[in-house]
């Protein structure tokens, strides 16, 4: 009996020690987070994907629509163009090769300070494959900012240990990235590439699970999730369209197709793409943004905020945006 | 899951396996290890797990076959009153056929996955010389993870059963676990059945001491791999992929940093493997023993990838050097060349088999063959000049055990190692020679002076981290060289100190690790061999 008691005691002690060990470790990692996190939201201060994340510098509740996705998104949709023509307050939160776990993270970040009416998820991200490893890594990075920003040890000063973050920087392009060159598609090369690496046209179950989870969160925050397929002759085809229409019917998530049908944007691929038909350039983005603005106004009732002081960030950014367009300055990737 | 160095493996797969292993009854623990091993293998190589199953079944069946022959032989010997030698011979011949069949299956699979293209190109090249242009086209397929490692383990099992070193195993699960144990499947160590199989089946409990020591060793390995090796990757890749753009100084630095990268990558992975083994109460054989403290090239190979060296020694060197033709050769050579150089000729024959095997094992490329020959030449040359060097030292009154002489030997060996690794890493043999030529004839410090060195994916702070890590590795190496069991000593400290060491290492890894958005993940380097 006493031997059993002793065994039980040892077991409890071991379990207690284990819990204490992990609790201390967890506390240390959590404590490191505020130290390593960038104190400003600029790229120079160490913010990762600074322009795509710069909505955190915008005044709360001033963004009516956000665009989440990969490079198809940030090259196609110009929030400042939509502001300029329709007074719409939108933001482009896309990054290169963005996979759904990161899309999901962006949605959470946006919903912390903003109440968008519409959230657009670009379809290419929906078809993009990712490993479970990516899901775990994303979840860990979201839970422990120290990991995502660990490389900032190179910039640390004593101030990092005492001052709070002050994320006030805003991007004058609101996440849009411009390209002014043009390159016509090479059909033979496209066909050869398609034969070597056929476009994935089904959406894996894990992607659908994240899509549905994003949809739920949007609903909870009063936002409408919409999947949008921006124009591309390399990343879009009829099979993808069929898949997307089926998913839209099954999930009830609206699908906006800019490659075909009612909302087709007529892109002149010979001069409105910068990389031979994958992404549109600035001229193409103007057309896509115009179509998007029409949809936002007519289908989702977004309002013109020009002249409203709460939206000064957009009004103030416009001259800078126009100057960059005038100079035809391509946007650096962050 | 792509390797050990992923959050999915370290944060979910391994802890889950440990918890389930600890929770099930002792007798079932080996089953947990086997299932976890196959799950890990499947996650990395999918359907190619069939290759591992074929290897496992083949050595099991051949082992059982040899075991049955041994029983029959012993029975025949017990009944025989004469002709016992003949009985032994007959059964030995039969067993040899069974062993060879098993070896053919396993090394055939290895050859099919790794060397078919290489041999096809040799055949193509050879035929082209006589005007026949076959242009053999073969499909490209991926190899199962760790095939180079587990094939050698499978081979050693068959030979050991044949030699009678170990009995033929009756439990298929035990053979399967020996071959597929997940901590060692990617990069070894290349263990022998007699070293690990019983431990794997024992179902040792997950003790607090083993958990602490195992995870501490894993952390140390993770630091080596993620802080040093992965940080150096960008620089090394740039130099070796664009060597024509750099002067000799940069190429020399690239070769030194590659040597350090490879060491930290491979030995770090070994620390991880041994640490994981320790958690399950399994002591895997060490694969590194302070290799950069070696005083000779042959000494280096007794400290670097030890289990490969010992495998080649036991299953190539000895069988070749003790074979009848080698013995005959030694006898004749003794007569012609004397007692000093005669045996050296025969052992050189065995040595060239070892070093060609070593080179080829690393890959089907001319640079790997050259790498093997490089060490063969150096080691044989070392043996040849050794008596002269000893006499010279004696005449010059140089103590060969003095600190200065030992330091000189270590420095000389380091140069040999770095040059060898330069050829090993180069993108082909021609590139290796070109880089070596630039390093020797175009050595300048210009790239250091004009700041080029800091524009190659590593800034000053990165170099500082590497320098501090090298000092730390040196201190640990010196302590180990002096026989200090560092983990054992730390494990005996009081709890707050023990935990502080663990947290310290963990935070160092977390902060200074080369992972995340700014770095490209690097798979364990030896997993590709």
ipTM of this model?
A: 0.89
Residue of chain B nearest A139, judged by CA positions: B7
- Which chain A residue is nearest to residue B501, measuring alpha carbons? A25
Residue A273 lies in domain: 43-131+166-327
Tokens of B379: 């080691």
- DSSP bridge pairs for A119: A66, A225
Q: Is the pLDDT assigned to residue B433 strictly greater than 80?
A: yes
Q: Distance between CA atoms of A225 and A212, rounded to whole angstroms? A: 10
Q: What is the pLDDT of residue B119?
A: 83
Q: Which residues of chain B are within 8 Å of residue A24 when distances are taken between CB atoms?
A: 499, 503
Average pLDDT over residues A32-53: 95
Q: What average pLDDT does this structure show over B191-220?
A: 97
Report the pLDDT value the prediction gives residue A10, as an integer from 0 to 100.
84
Indicate the length of chain A as a whole number.
334
Tokens representing residue A158 in the block: 């004593």
Residue A94 lies in a domain: yes
In angstroms, the CA B227 to CA A25 distance is 20
DSSP string, A196-216: HSPPP-S--HHHHHHHHHHHH
CA distance B279 to B108: 35
pLDDT tens column, B296-309 = 999 999 999 999 99
Measured between beta carbons, the chain B residues lying within 8 angstroms of A141 are 516
* A327 near B CB under 8 A: no
- Min Cα distance B481 → chain A (Å) is 32
Q: How confident is the model at residue B125 (pLDDT cuts 50, 70, 90)?
A: confident
Could you count the other beta carbons within 10 Å of the beta carbon of residue B388?
A: 9
- Residue A30 contacts B, CB cutoff 8 Å: no
Report the pLDDT averaged over residues B29-55: 97
In DSSP terms, B288 is beta-bridged to B304
Max Cα distance, chain A (Å): 87
Q: How many structural domains comprise chain A?
A: 1
Backbone angles phi, psi at B174, to 5 degrees: -65, -45
Residue of chain B nearest A29, judged by CA positions: B507
Nearest residue, CB atoms, B510 vs list A17, A131, A146: A146
Q: How distant is the Cα of A69 from the closest Cα of chain B, in angstroms?
A: 17
User: Given CB atoms, is A28 within the 8 Å cutoff of chain B?
Assistant: yes
Find which of A11, A17, A21 to mutate to test the B interface (most B CBs within 10 Å of its CB): A21
Residue of B nearest to A36 (CA): B511
Separation CA A66–CA A94 (nearest Å): 9
Q: What are the chain B neighbours of A52 within 8 Å (beta carbons)?
A: none
Please list every residue in chain B whose beta carbon sits closer than 8 Å to the beta carbon of residue A137. 6-7
Of B12, B208, B517, the CB nearest to A48: B517
Residues with Cβ within 8 Å of residue B350, at least 6 apart in sequence = B316, B317, B318, B320, B321, B326
Cα–Cα distance, B227 to B515 (Å, whole number): 8
Residue A323 token pair: 């100057």
The mean pLDDT value for B470-476 works out to 97
Tens of pLDDT, residue by residue over B351-364, are 999 999 999 999 88
pLDDT band of B338, cuts 50, 70, 90: confident
> B27: how many CB neighbours lie within 10 A of its CB?
9
Cβ contact B8–A136 (<8 Å): yes
Count contacts between A and B (CB, < 8 Å): 55
The predicted-structure confidence for B508-529, as pLDDT tens digits, reads as follows 999 999 999 889 888 899 887 7
Interface mutation vs chain B, best among A15, A36, A52, A137, most B CBs within 10 Å: A137
Distances (CA, A) of B51 to A288, B105, B148, B179: 52, 10, 12, 12
- Cβ–Cβ below 8 Å for B12 and A48: no
Say if the Cβ atoms of A28 and B503 lie within 8 Å: yes
Report in angstroms the alpha-carbon separations of B283 from A164, B6, B21, B217, B491. 48, 23, 17, 13, 17
Element (DSSP H or E) covering residue A138? helix A132-143
Assess if residue A28 is contained within a domain: no
Q: In angstroms, rounded to a whole number, what is the distance separating the alpha carbons of residues B357 and B351?
A: 10
Nearest to A154 among B11, B461, B506 (CB): B461
Interface probe for A, chosen from B517, B519, B523 (most Cβ of A below 10 Å), is B517
Which among A29, A133, A146 is the nearest to B7, CB-wise? A133
- Selected for mutation to probe chain A from B504, B510, B512, B519 (highest A CB count within 10 Å) is B510
Where does A160-204 have alpha helices with state H? 187-196
If interface means Cβ-Cβ distance under 8 Å, which residues of chain B face chain A?
1-2, 6-8, 11-12, 208, 459, 461, 499, 503, 506-507, 510-513, 515-518
- Judged by CB atoms closer than 8 Å, whether chains meet at B11 and A150 is answered as no
**Mean pLDDT score across all residues of chain B:** 94
Weakest mean pLDDT among B104-113, B163-172, B321-330: B321-330
Q: Percent of chain A beyond pLDDT 70?
A: 99
Non-local (6+) Cβ contacts of B484 within 8 A are none
Distance of CA B437 to the CA centre of its chain: 29
Contact between A151 and B459 using a beta-carbon 8 Å cutoff: no
A-chain residues within 8 Å CB-CB of B498? none
Query: Does A10 lie at the interface with B, CB-CB under 8 angstroms?
Result: no
Mean per-residue pLDDT of chain A: 95
A43 touches chain B (CB under 8 A): no
By CB atoms closer than 10 A (0-12, 13-18, 19+), residue A159 is exposed
What does the H/E/C string look like for A67-113? EECCHHHHHHCCHHHHHHHHCCCEEECCCCCCCHHHHHHHHHHHHHH
Chain B residues whose beta carbon lies within 8 Å of the beta carbon of residue A131: 1-2, 8
Total count of residues recorded for chain B: 529
Q: How far apart are CA B101 and CA B103, in angstroms?
A: 5
Tokens of B359: 């080179």
Question: Which residue do the tokens 């790794």 mark?
Answer: B114
pLDDT, tens digit (0-9, with 9 covering 90-100), for A95-127: 999 999 999 999 999 999 999 999 999 999 999
Model confidence at B486: pLDDT above 60: yes
pLDDT digits (tens, 9 = 90+) for A158-211: 999 998 889 999 999 999 999 999 999 999 999 999 999 999 999 999 999 999
| Chain A CB contacts of B503 below 8 Å | 24-25, 28
Q: Which of A204-218, B106-120, B265-279 has the lowest mean pLDDT?
A: B106-120
The residue assigned the tokens 């040359």 is B381
Smallest CA–CA separation between B364 and chain A, in Å? 26
**Residue-level pLDDT at B149:** 97
Q: How many CB atoms lie within 10 A of CB B110?
A: 22
Is B7's CB within 8 Å of A140's CB? yes
- Contact list in B for residue A48 (CB cut-off 8 A) is 517
In a domain, A53, yes or no: yes
Cβ burial, residue B147 (10 Å; 0-12/13-18/19+)? buried
Which pTM value belongs to this model?
0.92
Chain A residues near residue B13 by CB distance under 8 angstroms: none
pLDDT reported for residue B300: 97
CA distances from B303 to A157, A195, B156, B256, B289 (A): 42, 49, 21, 18, 5
Residue A275 has pLDDT above 90, yes or no: yes
Select from A244, A257, A255, A318 the least CA-distant residue to A288.
Answer: A257
Question: Would you call B516 and A154 a contact, using CB atoms and an 8 Å cutoff?
Answer: no
Provide, as residue numbers in chain B, all residues whose Cβ is less than 8 Å from the Cβ of A13: none
Supply the pLDDT for residue A1. 55
What distance in Å separates the CA atoms of residue A57 and residue A174, rounded to the nearest whole number? 11
Torsion of CA A62, A68, A72, A77, to 10 degrees: -20
| pLDDT recorded at residue B283 | 98
Check whether the bond before B189 is cis (ω within 30° of 0).
yes
Looking up residue A245, the CATH number of its domain turns out to be: 3.40.50.1110
User: Which residue of A21, A137, A150 is in closest CB contact with B510?
Assistant: A150
**In Å, how far is B274's CA from the nearest CA of chain A?**
22
* Beta carbons of A133 and B11 less than 8 Å apart: no
């Amino acid at each position: 009996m006493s031997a059993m008691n002793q065994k039980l005691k040892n077991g409890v002690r071991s379990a207690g020690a284990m819990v204490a060990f992990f609790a201390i470790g967890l506390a240390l990692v959590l404590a490191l987070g505020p130290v390593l996190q960038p104190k400003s939201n600029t790229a120079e201060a160490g913010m990762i994907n600074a322009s795509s994340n710069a909505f955190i510098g915008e005044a709360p509740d001033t963004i009516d629509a956000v665009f989440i996705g990969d490079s198809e998104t940030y090259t196609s949709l110009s929030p400042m163009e939509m502001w300029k023509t329709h007074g719409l307050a939108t933001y482009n939160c896309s990054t290169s090769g963005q996979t759904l776990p990161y899309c999901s993270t962006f949605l959470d970040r946006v919903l912390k300070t903003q109440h968008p009416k519409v959230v657009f998820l670009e379809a290419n991200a929906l078809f993009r494959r990712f490993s479970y490893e990516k899901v775990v890594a994303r979840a860990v990075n979201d839970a422990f900012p120290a990991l995502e920003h660990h490389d900032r040890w190179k910039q640390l000063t004593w101030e990092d240990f005492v001052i709070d973050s002050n994320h006030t920087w805003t991007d004058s392009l609101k996440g849009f990235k411009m390209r002014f060159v043009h390159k016509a598609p090479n059909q033979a090369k496209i066909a050869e590439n398609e034969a070597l690496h056929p476009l994935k046209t089904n959406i894996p179950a894990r992607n659908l699970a994240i899509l549905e989870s994003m949809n739920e969160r949007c609903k909870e925050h009063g936002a409408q999730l919409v999947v949008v397929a921006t124009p591309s002759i390399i990343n879009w085809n009829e099979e993808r369209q069929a898949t997307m229409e089926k998913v839209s019917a099954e999930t009830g998530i609206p699908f906006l197709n800019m490659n075909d049908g009612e909302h087709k944007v007529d892109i002149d691929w010979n001069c409105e793409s910068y990389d031979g038909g994958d992404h549109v350039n600035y001229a193409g983005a103007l057309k896509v943004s115009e179509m998007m603005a029409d949809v936002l106004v007519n289908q989702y009732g977004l309002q013109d905020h020009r002249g409203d002081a709460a939206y000064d960030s957009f009004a103030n950014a416009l001259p800078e945006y126009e100057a960059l367009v005038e100079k035809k300055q391509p946007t650096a990737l962050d | 899951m792509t390797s050990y160095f992923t959050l999915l493996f370290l944060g979910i797969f391994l802890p889950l396996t440990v918890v389930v292993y600890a929770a099930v009854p002792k007798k079932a623990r080996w089953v947990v290890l086997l299932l976890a091993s196959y799950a890990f293998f499947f996650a990395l190589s999918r359907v190619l797990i069939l290759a591992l199953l074929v290897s496992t079944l083949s050595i099991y069946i051949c082992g059982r076959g040899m075991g049955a022959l041994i029983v029959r032989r012993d029975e025949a010997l017990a009944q025989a009153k004469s002709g016992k030698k003949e009985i032994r011979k007959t059964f030995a011949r039969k067993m040899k056929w069974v062993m060879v069949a098993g070896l053919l299956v396993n090394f055939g699979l290895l050859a099919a996955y790794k060397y078919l293209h290489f041999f096809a190109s040799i055949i193509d090249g050879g035929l082209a010389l006589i005007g026949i242009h076959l242009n053999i086209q073969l499909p490209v397929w991926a190899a199962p993870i760790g095939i180079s490692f587990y094939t050698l383990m499978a081979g050693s099992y068959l030979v050991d059963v044949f030699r009678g070193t170990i009995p033929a195993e009756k439990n298929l699960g035990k053979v399967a676990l020996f071959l597929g144990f997940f901590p060692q499947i990617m990069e070894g160590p290349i263990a022998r059945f007699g070293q690990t199989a019983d431990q794997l089946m024992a179902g040792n409990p997950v003790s607090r001491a083993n958990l602490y020591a195992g995870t501490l060793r894993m952390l140390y390995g993770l630091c080596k791999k993620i802080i040093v090796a992965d940080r150096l990757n960008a620089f090394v890749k740039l130099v070796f992929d664009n060597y024509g753009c750099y002067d000799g100084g940069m190429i020399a630095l690239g070769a030194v940093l590659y040597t350090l990268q490879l060491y930290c990558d491979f030995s770090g992975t070994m620390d991880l493997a041994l640490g994981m083994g320790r958690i399950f109460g399994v002591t895997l054989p060490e694969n590194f023993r302070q290799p950069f403290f070696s005083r000779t090239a042959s000494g280096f190979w007794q400290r670097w990838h030890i289990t490969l060296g010992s495998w080649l020694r036991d299953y190539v060197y000895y069988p070749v050097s003790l074979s009848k033709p080698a013995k005959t050769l030694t006898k004749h050579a003794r007569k012609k060349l004397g007692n000093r150089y005669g045996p050296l000729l025969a052992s050189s024959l065995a040595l060239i088999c070892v070093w060609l095997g070593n080179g080829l094992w690393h890959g089907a490329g001319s640079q790997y063959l050259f790498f093997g020959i490089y060490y063969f030449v150096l080691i044989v040359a070392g043996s040849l000049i050794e008596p002269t060097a000893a006499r010279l030292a004696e005449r010059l009154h140089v103590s060969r055990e003095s600190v200065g002489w030992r330091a000189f030997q270590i420095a000389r060996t380091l140069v040999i190692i770095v040059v060898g690794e330069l050829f090993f890493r180069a993108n082909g043999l021609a590139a290796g020679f070109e880089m070596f030529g630039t390093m020797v004839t175009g050595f300048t410090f210009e790239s250091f002076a004009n700041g080029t060195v800091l524009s190659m994916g590593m800034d000053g702070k990165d170099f500082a981290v590497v320098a501090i890590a090298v000092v730390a590795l040196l201190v640990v190496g010196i302590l180990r060289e002096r026989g200090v069991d560092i983990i054992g000593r730390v494990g005996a400290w009081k709890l707050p100190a023990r935990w502080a060491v663990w947290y310290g290492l963990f935070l160092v890894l977390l902060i200074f690790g080369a992972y995340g958005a700014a770095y490209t993940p690097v798979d364990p380097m030896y997993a590709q061999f």
